[in-house]
Chain A
Amino acid sequence: MEEIEGYTVVPLRMSSDALHCHSVYMREHFIRLMDPNKPKGRTLFLLNIPPYVTEESLKGFFKRAGNVESVQFAAKPGKDETIKWYEGTNEPFSNVRPPFIFKVAYVVFQKSSSIGKALAVPSIDLFHSSGESTIKTGMELWHEEYENHYILDAEKTKAQITEYMADYDRRERAAALAAKNSEADADGWVTVGKEGRNAGFEQKESVIGRLEKKRENDTKTKELKNFYTFQIRESKMQNIVEMRKKFEEDKRKIELLKQSRRFKPF
């Protein structure tokens, strides 16, 4: 068993006769701030997982070391990376897929004793005993992808939509109800909604911007412009400053252009 910097290195085999395999680097997952989804002592951390490997295939393989609770991927080790990886993929009616790149995996076992067993495997074999790969690729994958994810069944989809929308409506209603509720919470804070007697304005950037602009305009209209001599003098000065600035800017542009040798006509 090869080891490097605390990682156990095992080959990842896609078929029994594979000559050139990727190396997977494994160790027990341990960091100071543990993620509740990757519990201490039960999580195996794997580096350099090829892009085509799926959660199911890993789950299937590591079953031999004990029952697997979950397999999670991430682009690189780190906090919140797993959340980023799966962002948008679980929403219905969305075409977002996790990226297709080399990744890291977290295998969470039900028992901590499984870790040792997992670390002792000579190789990660992602094929059935019949020699067939546990991962769908090539024609098979794309056919399945097309049949199951691209083409939708109209009736089933309709049913799914009705169900989802009903659920959505329920949620909306609940939220609306909550918004109307203007009672103070435990700390004494009152959430102000759009409706009701003490409605606040919508917390949108555009709305806030509009309000601020209005205030600015108000002060502007009250101000006298080009009235006092010093103001006129200043605006003239400003003008000159701007023209000079433009000149300088153009000169800088030329410097830039000069670097790319754009002035040789032939």
Chain B
Amino acid sequence: MGKIKKILRKGPPATKRPPKAARTESADSALGLDAHSDLEKPATSSDDGFEEPTPKPKPSKKTTTLPGPVSIIAQKKNKFRTDDAKNVKPPTLEEMKELRDTRNLFHSNLFKLQVKEMLEELQLKTKYTEYIDNWMESFTVFTQRLKDGLVEKSQLEVPLNVDKKISGFIFSKPTKEPQLIGAASTGTLLGPKIVVDVALEMPKDCLHKDDYLNLIYDQKRALYLTYVTNQMRSDPAYSQDKFAFNYHGNNPLKPVLELTPAAKQVSKHLQLRLFITAPQSTFKPSRFVPWNNNIRPTYYNDEWDEEEALPSTQHYNASVLFDLTLAQNQALLDKAFKGRRNFQDGLLLLKVWLRQRELDRGFTGFGSHILASFIVYLNQQRILHQSSSSYQVARTVWNQLANTDWTNGITLAPASGQTEQLSTMAGYYDVCFMDVSGQLNLCANVPLGVYQRVRAEAKLAVDLLNDMKLNSFPYIFMQKCPLYTRVDNILKITNYSSIQQMLVLHSKPQMKYDFASYGYPQLLQILTELLQKGLKQRVQAILPIETVSSAWPVESKAPIIGQAIQLGLILDPEHAYEVLDKGPSSNDDPEGSAEFRKFWGEKSNLRRFQDGSITEAVVWGTTKDAPSKKRLIVRQIVMHLLEHHLQLDSKDIQYIAAELDLVYQLSPWFKVSKVKTKLELQQDTDAEALSPNVIRCYDDLARQLHALDDLPLEIVSISSISPVSRYCEPMPVLPQARMMADHIHASHIQRVIIQLGQSGKWPNELSALRALKTAFLIEIGEKLKAQCRLNWSITSEGLLVLKRGFCFLLELAHNKELALLKQEVTERGVTKYVDNPESRALEQRHYILPKVSGALHSLHQSHSAYGPTVLIAKRWLATQLLDDGIWPPMATELLVAHLYQQRNAPQAIAAPQTGFIRFLHLLAHSDWNGELFLLNFNSSWQEQQIGDLEHSFRSDRQSYPPLALATSYDQQHAGRLWTTGESPSLRILSHVSRLARHALEMIETSLQSKDLRFVRPAQLFRGSSEGYDLVIQLKSDLVPNALSYDLGSPFVSFDQPNYLLPRAGKDPLAAIVHQLRSAYSDYAAFFYNPHGGKELAIMWRPPAVFAPKAFKVTELQACTLCDKGKVQVVRETLVEDFKVLLKDFYLRISTPEELKREQREHQNPKRYFNAKPQDNESCSKSKKRKLAKAAKVQAPLKRKSLIKSRPLKSLS
């Protein structure tokens, strides 16, 4: 207290205080102020850096923090600045403490301030709080006006599906006032859709003693809700509002009323939900202990042996108890949260974190009320102090989540020797967290998998917070990570008959009673148990992916939900792709062996192993199989298990795995048998499986180079920098390079960098140095020919060497070349070394890329999905007509590598497809302007370095390219080395983001639909033809097709492919496009598919560029004279230029619409009889109109229809 007063005295003069006080007082409840007031309080820090301020009476807090710490600090700063360092204001104890605490607690102010900003952003507008208060008042009055009476057949459907309906329910008016519950009550409402929960208690009179049995309670609850709804609808105060029913938490026994107020100012974001509850004293507490049965088998007309104990219905009991104990639980939460901004904020942080991870969804969700109760629990256990700051609350909760185990049960109830009872209770559930009454398990519906997942995420959050090297804020709070992007494979069963079959044949009766015949949890249990048993350590987690049930209008019948299931599998990359499942030894354990055989059925065989053991085993493939094949093992197992145990047909199941791996396969048009090689090649091979061949060949070449005799200088190091060496080459590289008429022909060249031993005799002139280097390379070539009989050829870039059908380009790296390039002499005659674009490019290629290449190679070794993810990503970018000139390939590789760093998810990605989806996510949702992607390989960069880089990045954003990438090998170039201002430019970046969002949309809708087909690769891997102004078709025989699986061009249909082998290192199309870009990028943008695209698409810049302008000598480029002494750029002239530059290449130039029309006409003649020329025309006209409207905007719907109309099937 005394200290605070001291601040005040130094603060603004007393006269100025009142207005300020008034301002802050109104905002005192505001979330933002709190972060400061937490820290401003006098505190005694404990050793762990957590402050534990002494609590003080509330009103005093209000007055003392009034002037607002911000203003105080600002004032101090101002004073300090004016007086300058001469007279530094001595720091107050508080300031010192605050500064120190910030460092200890948050690592940096940055995190603290970010949290503060976010909380401010989340803060509820007063118009909502006011509206809620008013609404509650009027609703209370409304409930008091309700009258008792028999519920007649109302117009509304009762929102509940039960087999046996009760009749003659007498409504009695509520005796208690309706209460706000949940987030609205604890003050932790969270946007953007604000859901306010209101509970209305039915009086005891409505319920009889026996109503606990056979869902009578639930029916009465629903009837009560229906009656109240009906009354509300006829009340003028609510008649304008929108009424709908929905299930709470996907639980069909818990219908709630969803009311969207008509009031204009809130209707967009506010929704009220009405719960009906019952007083706790309605039933005896012992009625609903987990081991009791409350739904009799006879209710479902089942027979039950009288002798046998009735099966327990713990989950149903919990569902009823939820209503009964709600008031008591809410009272406890209110006590803990009301008026405690720090707890509320802490909970808000946790809620944001949880919602970003989508773990709080649906029936099995880990709801935020569990988190709220957990905060209370920790407070009770004295782990959380009353006045811990919001950050401490969140952090402690994560820490405790990660380090405690709830499977044995924890309880909020006052301890009175109930430990034994607790463990019995826990035995009935996967996860057990008893509420304050000691009756309800808050986590009754949370399966073990989901709980473990929450724990893993919490652990990750703690780790991120502890990592001083990075700003963990966006990873924890900002990054969206929908569940489907975190799982490797997805199993989807939506077929109605399959679902029924499973429920009828394979679900145990007690499960049916337990879940009151709700299908979803039963399915979940059946499938999880089976898969867990079959997949064992292959799978890390099996998670339900639920979609939240949607509301239905009150007049219609309640839908039946839970008739489909989606499971996400998180695989363990270490074990998932093992080809063998070994059972117990048949000699030692005949019983286990028999069981194993029974479990696996025909797949299991008795096998003898090399170590002499004879056991039952299941074999899923051979160890030599290509990695892409091995990735399908899990799918194979799951399919087999479902068929063997649940008699499901494979066509009724969708198992989403490796759907997109197709795109880096070898094209079926190319016949692999034509390649002359000693290597064994399969026709269905892919880029990933072919990479090791190239790497092996490179290793051999390196050995031969090292062994060369009598070189003037020895070779010190050899490193490969081509993408193949890090498994990132999306084109299948086949050993088909060869000599033809003394010339080397090859479709790919692998770049290799050689460094020689030290020598002082290298010349000091750039040209001379280069001349000597060339001489050296020629010498190496001659020696290779003489000693190893390898063909070679010298080029201006380096030495081409042909070995076993692969072509390598050797380059010599020398320090002096770099130094000479950088060298500059100042006016004073002092030699300086300054970076310039050329030297930077050289340094990157000769020194940095080899290191990064190595690091990425080892990344692939530890995460085998890295390479294939890059392949898919690169293929995707290529098919969107983005070539290397506008999107550097290294940017793709580094961005994907960024995803494979641990901080993004608790588990490593095991499936390339998931990796690709995350890549799309990254493209779609990244804030390019604010984020610097840093790859700290081997953690070789220190905190200080990272901090400096980030500081420089933030303060001098303009000097960095739009997409900023850095690796720990970049030295002084960090952030500027891998990308430039032009590649990718801001325009391209936002274009790519848009494309990625569109692709994600397609994937998401496909996942959510009941359709049993995943997005076909052709839908994702073919660019749109919309938005381009011109298409230049190239002569197809001059541009060789890519060897990878081609999914078609967006403009024309398939043509006869050609696999011409070009001269090594020759890519005229890329060179021409480079020329076009360098000369005409002010007037047009050029796009083509670098993987064998035969069209060049052109988009004109905005019309302003082509408008007439005044004559200016410096701005005359490409301008022709027009009227009135003005000049302008004419598109037709530029097109003529394109023709000149593309001489011999171009077939013709047309607009995309023309092409499309022609394509259609080209295909139509086959249908002589139903061809309708008129239709055709009008269609194309409307299309044109649409196009004009939505120029440059993607038109997803149209595109889909277009794709469908294509005869794609003819390919496969």
Which residues of A are interface residues toward B (Cβ below 8 A)? 2, 4-5, 9, 14, 18-23, 25, 47-48, 50-52, 76-77, 91-96, 99-102, 133, 135, 137-140, 142-143, 145-146, 149-154, 157-158, 160-161, 164-165, 168, 172, 202-206, 208, 237, 240-241, 243-244, 246-251, 253-254, 256-258, 260, 262-266
Residues of A within 8 A of B1144 (CB): 138-140
- 9 new A-B pairs (CB below 8 Å) besides A51-B1078, A165-B771, A265-B355? A14-B1140, A151-B795, A164-B771, A168-B771, A205-B832, A244-B77, A250-B113, A254-B110, A263-B118
Cα–Cα, bound, A240→B1145 (Å): 69
Given known A4-B1125, A48-B1116, A50-B1137, contact A264–B121 (CB-CB < 8 A): yes
Cβ B1111 vs Cβ A4 within 8 A: yes
Cβ B1141 vs Cβ A52 within 8 A: yes
B1177 at interface, CB cutoff 8 A: no
Residues of A within 8 A of B121 (CB): 263-265
Given known A48-B1118, A154-B778, contact A77–B1133 (CB-CB < 8 A): no
CB distance from B712 to the nearest CB of A (A): 14
Residue of A nearest to B768 (CB): A168
Given known A92-B767, A165-B772, contact A150–B1136 (CB-CB < 8 A): no
CB distance from A232 to the nearest CB of B (A): 14
Residues of A within 8 A of B1071 (CB): 142, 145
Residues of A within 8 A of B743 (CB): 151
Cα–Cα, bound, A151→B809 (Å): 12
Residue of A nearest to B109 (CB): A250
Cβ B831 vs Cβ A204 within 8 A: yes
Cβ A76 vs Cβ B1114 within 8 A: yes
Cβ B797 vs Cβ A150 within 8 A: yes
- B1118's partner among A22, A100, A161, A165 (CB-CB below 8 A) is A22
Residue of B nearest to A14 (CB): B1140
B1202 at interface, CB cutoff 8 A: no
Cβ A91 vs Cβ B1145 within 8 A: no
Cβ B192 vs Cβ A266 within 8 A: yes
CB proximity to A under 8 Å, residues B174-194 = 191-192
Cα–Cα, bound, A150→B1068 (Å): 12
CB distance from B1133 to the nearest CB of A (A): 4
Cβ A93 vs Cβ B770 within 8 A: yes
Cβ A168 vs Cβ B794 within 8 A: no
B1055 at interface, CB cutoff 8 A: no
Residues of B within 8 A of A4 (CB): 1111, 1121, 1125, 1127
B419 at interface, CB cutoff 8 A: no
Residues of B within 8 A of A158 (CB): 775, 778
Cβ A20 vs Cβ B1130 within 8 A: yes
Cβ A237 vs Cβ B85 within 8 A: yes
Cβ B794 vs Cβ A152 within 8 A: yes
**How many B residues touch A, CB cutoff 8 Å?**
91
Return the 6 tightest CB-CB contacts between A and B, nearest first. A138-B1143, A139-B1144, A102-B1117, A250-B109, A93-B770, A142-B1068
CB distance from B664 to the nearest CB of A (A): 29
Cα–Cα, bound, A208→B826 (Å): 13
B91 at interface, CB cutoff 8 A: yes
Cβ A151 vs Cβ B1118 within 8 A: no
CB distance from B721 to the nearest CB of A (A): 18
B1135 at interface, CB cutoff 8 A: yes
Cβ B77 vs Cβ A248 within 8 A: yes
Residues of B within 8 A of A22 (CB): 1118, 1120, 1133, 1137
CB distance from A265 to the nearest CB of B (A): 5
Residues of A within 8 A of B1145 (CB): 138-139
Residues of A within 8 A of B772 (CB): 161, 165
Cβ B110 vs Cβ A253 within 8 A: yes
Cα–Cα, bound, A241→B1140 (Å): 65
B495 at interface, CB cutoff 8 A: no
Given known A254-B117, A258-B117, contact A100–B478 (CB-CB < 8 A): no
Residues of A within 8 A of B1130 (CB): 20
Cα–Cα, bound, A140→B1038 (Å): 13
B405 at interface, CB cutoff 8 A: no
B240 at interface, CB cutoff 8 A: no
Cβ A100 vs Cβ B766 within 8 A: no
Residues of A within 8 A of B781 (CB): 154
Cβ B930 vs Cβ A241 within 8 A: no
Name 22 A/B residue pairs within 8 A (Cβ), A-sorted.
A19-B1132, A23-B1119, A23-B1121, A23-B1127, A50-B1118, A93-B767, A94-B767, A101-B1078, A101-B1079, A102-B1079, A133-B1140, A138-B1142, A138-B1144, A150-B1066, A164-B771, A237-B88, A240-B91, A240-B96, A258-B117, A264-B121, A265-B121, A266-B191
Cα–Cα, bound, A152→B767 (Å): 16
B679 at interface, CB cutoff 8 A: no
Residues of A within 8 A of B763 (CB): 165, 168, 172
Cα–Cα, bound, A96→B821 (Å): 12
Residues of A within 8 A of B85 (CB): 237, 241
Residues of B within 8 A of A101 (CB): 1078-1079, 1117
- A203's partner among B122, B829, B1118 (CB-CB below 8 A) is B829
CB distance from B826 to the nearest CB of A (A): 8
CB distance from B454 to the nearest CB of A (A): 18
B940 at interface, CB cutoff 8 A: no
Cα–Cα, bound, A205→B1135 (Å): 51
Cα–Cα, bound, A250→B1130 (Å): 50
Cβ A152 vs Cβ B117 within 8 A: no
- B1137's partner among A52, A208, A251 (CB-CB below 8 A) is A52
Cβ A205 vs Cβ B830 within 8 A: yes
> C-beta contact mask, B116-134 vs A, less than 8 Å → 1, else 0?
0110111000000000000
Cα–Cα, bound, A240→B772 (Å): 58
Residues of B within 8 A of A96 (CB): 838
Most buried by A among B91, B766, B1145: B91
Residues of A within 8 A of B108 (CB): 250
- B117's partner among A2, A140, A206, A263 (CB-CB below 8 A) is A263
CB distance from B128 to the nearest CB of A (A): 16
Cβ A168 vs Cβ B765 within 8 A: yes
Cα–Cα, bound, A239→B1177 (Å): 78
CB distance from A47 to the nearest CB of B (A): 5
Residue of A nearest to B91 (CB): A240
CB distance from A31 to the nearest CB of B (A): 12
B453 at interface, CB cutoff 8 A: no
CB distance from B1092 to the nearest CB of A (A): 18
Cα–Cα, bound, A73→B917 (Å): 50
Cβ B795 vs Cβ A150 within 8 A: yes
B845 at interface, CB cutoff 8 A: no
Given known A203-B831, A251-B113, A263-B118, contact A154–B794 (CB-CB < 8 A): yes
Most buried by B among A91, A151, A152, A204: A151
Cβ B1117 vs Cβ A164 within 8 A: no
Residue of B nearest to A47 (CB): B1116
- B1136's partner among A14, A48, A102 (CB-CB below 8 A) is A14
